[in-house]
Structure formats: structure tokens, C-alpha cells
Amino acid sequence: MKLGFIKSNFPNEQRVPLLPGHIDNFKNDIFIESGFGEHLNITDQDYEKKGAVILARSEIFKTCRGIFSLKLLQPDDYKYIQENQIIIGWTHPKGSGKQFMIDQAIPKNLIVVDLDNKRPTVFFKNEEYSPNWVPEDFVYQNSFYAGYAGTIHALLNYGILPTNTVKIAILGSGNVSQGAFHAISKFSDNVRMFYRKTMFEFKTEISQFDVVINGIDVGNTGKSIISKNEQKKMKENCLIIDVAADVGNTIEGTDFTSIEKPIRYESETKLYFYAVPNTPTLAYRNTSEVISEQFSKYVYSKDISLFLDLVGA
């Protein structure tokens, strides 16, 4: 089948999710948008040497049954999407991609593949399917870099390289939290990690920390880790770094910041917040290599007709 790759037009996205060196024995015909590798100075000719066909963005949609975009397709592309196409990437149908599902996926009978690291899922006609050839945690390094890069970015924009006099808490034990620990432990050993089962200990000491880094994603469960009332107990001018970027959920009442303006001061609580989405793009050279290698192994190299068979389309 024909699988087309388009450049993500998500704000500040610089990762290149398919590198020429990873194109090997793919079972699909590969089509690449012109300029796809520009952030890494990869030319169209580099892809052509590996057998890919270079097309304009609109032609990719016209030509290919499968469309890969690393991040969620933006409204500018809606006019190009054809009925019955397979849309593949980090599509977040239950999160930021809800409106896409309503506006595009359901009306156009799209098969939407969400390559979520924790639970890869295929969505079709209000049903969910598990592609068992894509394992869980297959791009854990990307999450690790989310914590690593986001923590360093937040510290520099807050204006601090912490010494041992700065008391630091990290919430969570997953890939994002491990990346955050790896980053901040290079500056200070005054760091404590708290897990869901030890969160009560964190809350008894919540007023003592100068920096709190969150790597926990609770989603739309209504079970925040730090409530608004608990934020009022925190140390004045404390920096909260939400590298999980689970805004409004894990830390109640928060909202996204941006790469352009990564730190926001909340006068009500006298706290500083960092909640930049998509922090792995800050280390786009590292993460492009990881994503391209793992996606090539488990997704790109497979015949995308597997997704049709899975949903019975």
C-alpha cells in the first residue's frame, strides 16, 4: 500500500520521524513531502536514493491511503483528507484530538491510529482496537527526553541552575520522571522522588520544596495530585515544572505555557509554572533518531493493510 509522510505543522515541532537510514525492506510504497527532513538538513534526494517518491503536501493526501503525521493534523489540512484514509501518528483521540475525531474521523470514515507509548490503539467508527504488533513502551526514550529536556528548559528560563541549597521534589517513577531526575541530579543531590503510593509523604512536606517536578499523568480522572488548596500551602516562588504536561488534571487549575513564554507566574498562589507541551522537540536530534528507528521497526515497515484487517474495513 501507499504510505505518505507529511511534515507536522504542530507549533515548534522540529523532529524528523523517518530518517533515510532506517528505510529498509518496507512493505509499503513510501511517499515523502518535499522538505520533510529540512530540520536535520536531510535533502529530498536522500530519501529518493532509498526509493521514496517526493510529492507536494496536497499530492500526498491525494495519492496515499495511509498518512503519517507525527503530531495531530491541524485544521489547515482538513481540506486534503479523503474518506477512508488511515491517519497515523500521535493523534490523541481521547485528548487533544477529540475535535478531530468529531470533525473529520467520524464523518470521513477514517481509521485513526494513535501510537501512544503506553497503549497504542486504533480507532474506527467509535470502536477501539489494539494493534498487537506494536508493543507498549516502544518509544520510551522519547518520554525520557520529555522529562530531561523540559526540566533543563524550565530551569534556564526560570533563571536557576540549582545548588544543594535548593530543595527539589520529583513526582512519579516513569520514563518522564526518570528523565527529569537524570537532568536535575547533575546540579544537585538535594532531590527526593515521590511515587503515587508515597504521595502522602510529599504532601506533609509540600511547603518545604523550592522546585517540584511532575511526571505523573492522571488524565481526565478527576483525581488531581496537587489541588488548588494544596498549591496555597507551597513555598512562595516555588517553581512547578509539569513535564508530564497533564494540564488542569495532575496539578489542578493549570494551563499550558509555550516555548516562547515557558514560565508563568500565578499571583494568587505566588507560584511559577512551566507546562510546555511537546518538550521532546527541544532535543529533536536525539528524539528523531529514536522515533525513526522504533517507528520503522514496528509501524512503517509493516504493511498498513494490517490496520484495515484489524478493524474489518
What is the CA angle 21-25-30, rounded to 5?
A: 75
Residue 220 pLDDT > 80: no
Q: Do domains 2-114+285-311 and 140-277 have the same CATH topology?
A: yes
Residue 134 pLDDT > 80: yes
Residue 70 pLDDT > 80: yes
Q: Give CATH for domain 2-114+285-311.
A: 3.40.50.720
Average pLDDT over residues 187-207: 95
All structural domains of the chain with their residue ranges: 2-114+285-311, 140-277
pLDDT at res. 168: 98
Strand partners, 262: none
In terms of pLDDT, which residue wins out, 246 or 109? 109
Residue 221 pLDDT > 80: no
Per-residue pLDDT reduced to its tens digit, 142-156: 999 999 999 999 999
Query: Using CA atoms, how far apart are residues 141 and 237, in angstroms rounded to an integer?
Result: 31
Per-residue pLDDT reduced to its tens digit, 288-307: 999 999 999 999 999 999 99
Q: What is the dihedral of CA 170, 175, 179, 180, to 10 degrees?
A: -20
Write the CB contacts of 156 (distance below 8 Å, at least 6 apart in sequence): none
Under the banding of pLDDT at 50, 70 and 90, the label for residue 222 is confident
Residue 8 pLDDT > 90: yes
CATH architecture of 140-277: 3-Layer(aba) Sandwich (3.40)
